[in-house]
Amino acid sequence: MDSQPRSATSDAKPAGVTSGVVMTLELAVIPVVDAERSKQFYAGLGWRLDIDFQGEDYRVIQFTPPGSEGSVMFGRNITAAAPGTSRGLHLVVPDVEAARLDLLSRGVETSEPYHDVGGIFHHSDGRGVVSGVNPDRKSYASYVTFFDPDGNEWTIQEITARLPGRPGDSSFTEQLAKAVWGPN
């Protein structure tokens, strides 16, 4: 995706952009108790340390996962959210099992791989969630979860082909294809 600033008078839009403004997700702020402990944890994941700045009454630490253009920030006095309350953050990988093995080798506890029997999305209440990767290894269909030391939740999602794709593309579950393109 094009992340270069554009002038207010530019008529050019990247392919697929329907809004008048190009937007990219740059940063997610996560609440932590101990900034130093969190710094060690995220460094241990192999993420790049972008900044560690100490102000008079705050501290800002920013990491970027390998291959990502978006970053995560935490520290002291940078969010009013309670530590450990972040949910729904997704890291995208081409092979969820390889990503899980990498985390385990770094000493990070993870869930077992799982998938949603409905083929659309994993449910927060656990209904319709089955152990193991999607049997057909469909894109967007397999997950692993882990938590940072404060309890902030991360979901790793296997994506091998990007939506919207093309009608008839067999990379996606039947349910996801119907949700995107409608019934055939």
Domain CATH code at residue 166: 3.10.180
Q: How far is CA 129 from the centre of its chain?
A: 19
pLDDT at 81 over 80: yes
Asked, for residue 106, whether it belongs to a domain, the answer is yes
Please tell me whether residues 72 and 116 are part of one structural domain.
no
Could you give the number of structural domains in the chain? 2
Asked, for residue 45, whether it belongs to a domain, the answer is yes
CA dihedral 77, 78, 81, 82 (to 10 degrees): -40
Global pTM?
0.82
More confident residue, 66 or 166: 66
Please tell me whether residues 66 and 103 are part of one structural domain.
no
Please tell me whether residues 74 and 91 are part of one structural domain.
no
Smallest CA-to-CA distance from 42 within 24, 66, 16, 59 is with 66
Asked, for residue 94, whether it belongs to a domain, the answer is yes
pLDDT digits (tens, 9 = 90+) for 2-37: 455 544 444 555 666 676 788 888 999 999 999 999
Asked, for residue 10, whether it belongs to a domain, the answer is no
Please tell me whether residues 37 and 123 are part of one structural domain.
no
Please tell me whether residues 97 and 133 are part of one structural domain.
yes
Please tell me whether residues 69 and 99 are part of one structural domain.
no
Smallest CA-to-CA distance from 117 within 103, 131, 98 is with 131
Please tell me whether residues 96 and 161 are part of one structural domain.
yes
Please tell me whether residues 74 and 105 are part of one structural domain.
no
Window from 52-61, 67-76, 88-97, 121-130 with minimum mean pLDDT = 121-130
Please tell me whether residues 110 and 139 are part of one structural domain.
yes
Asked, for residue 11, whether it belongs to a domain, the answer is no
Please tell me whether residues 97 and 176 are part of one structural domain.
yes
Using the 3D structure, point to which of 33, 63, 79 is the last residue of a domain.
Answer: 79
Please tell me whether residues 121 and 169 are part of one structural domain.
yes
The span from the first CA to the last CA of the chain, in angstroms, equals 30
Task: Quickly count: other Cβ atoms within 10 Å of residue 47's Cβ.
Answer: 17
Residue 70 belongs to what domain range? 21-79
